[in-house]
Amino acid sequence: MSLSVSSAPRGIVTVTLDLPERRNALSAGLVGALTEALDDLGGDADCRAVLLTHTGGTFCAGADLKDPPDPAEFVALLRRIVALPKPVIARVDGHVRAGGLGLLGACDLAVAGPASSFAFTEVHIGVAPAVISMPLLPRLDPSAAARYHLTGERFDGAEAARIGLVTAYATDVDGTLQAMLDGVRKAAPGALAETKKLLTVKVLDAFDHQSDALIALSARLFGSAEAAEGMAAFFERRECRWAL
């Protein structure tokens, strides 16, 4: 089981990334399961919001390099989260890397805890954060986006909140989430859906105008000699040949 879905009292449905032995990496199977779950929840009148969380010490490690998802299907998943007529709220108290940051960035709200850490590691394995730029770049502080995309540096939850990657950093993750969920529960469903549309215009515009070009770029880079070396180094636990 890579994903579990459970209803909580008063309209909140919890979707849990549940493959800790694979660091909740985005395999083709996980992307498909998450897409199917969101399709169901989008039309569920009893669901007021989706809480996306994880088991283990990693929220999501990015693409599963042994079973990567089709780029077009991953893009469709990210767009589905953004366009879902209910808020998607992420609970993060673990590591988030590469494509996992795209998953996080597509969510409407996110709370990061003290065990969280973040890094855009794509440049270190010979690729670029191509398709995940669509939900992320409209939201991130431009200077911080440049720094962390180009260097692959690791940063913590407090910094993630400062640069706009998450809504809040809290030592009491669940307490902070509770206040958000209580607010959503008080909202009229139709008004909530229309308000989300107002907030996601720029992100959906990026998907509508950039998807094809960025999917092609992602495919080209993952098929490159640099990516082959980067992935080999990753699996062999060594430095890439270009590292100085």
Check whether 1 has a pLDDT greater than 70: no
Q: What CATH number does the domain containing 33 carry?
A: 3.90.226.10
Catalytic choice (122, 226, 229, 239):
122
Whether 122 is catalytic: yes
**Structural domains counted in the chain:** 1
DSSP letters along 183-212, please?
Answer: HHHTS-HHHHHHHHHHHTHHHHHHHHHHHH
Query: Would you state the structure tokens that stand for residue 160, as one six-digit string?
Result: 């993630």
The answer to the question of residue 220 being in a domain is no
The answer to the question of residue 118 being in a domain is yes
Q: Quick: pLDDT tens for 30-46.
A: 999 999 999 999 999 99
Mode of pairing for the β-strands spanning 3-7 and 12-17: antiparallel
The answer to the question of residue 144 being in a domain is yes
Check whether 7 has a pLDDT greater than 90: no
Among all chains, which residue has been given the structure tokens 């430095």? 239
Kindly calculate the radius of gyration of the chain based on its CA atoms and give it in whole angstroms: 17
pTM: 0.95
The answer to the question of residue 194 being in a domain is no
The answer to the question of residue 164 being in a domain is yes
The answer to the question of residue 236 being in a domain is no
| pLDDT tier for residue 65 given thresholds of 50, 70 and 90 | confident
Q: Which domain holds residue 58?
A: 3-172
The answer to the question of residue 229 being in a domain is no
Residue 38 near residue 19 (C-beta atoms within 8 A)? no
The answer to the question of residue 189 being in a domain is no
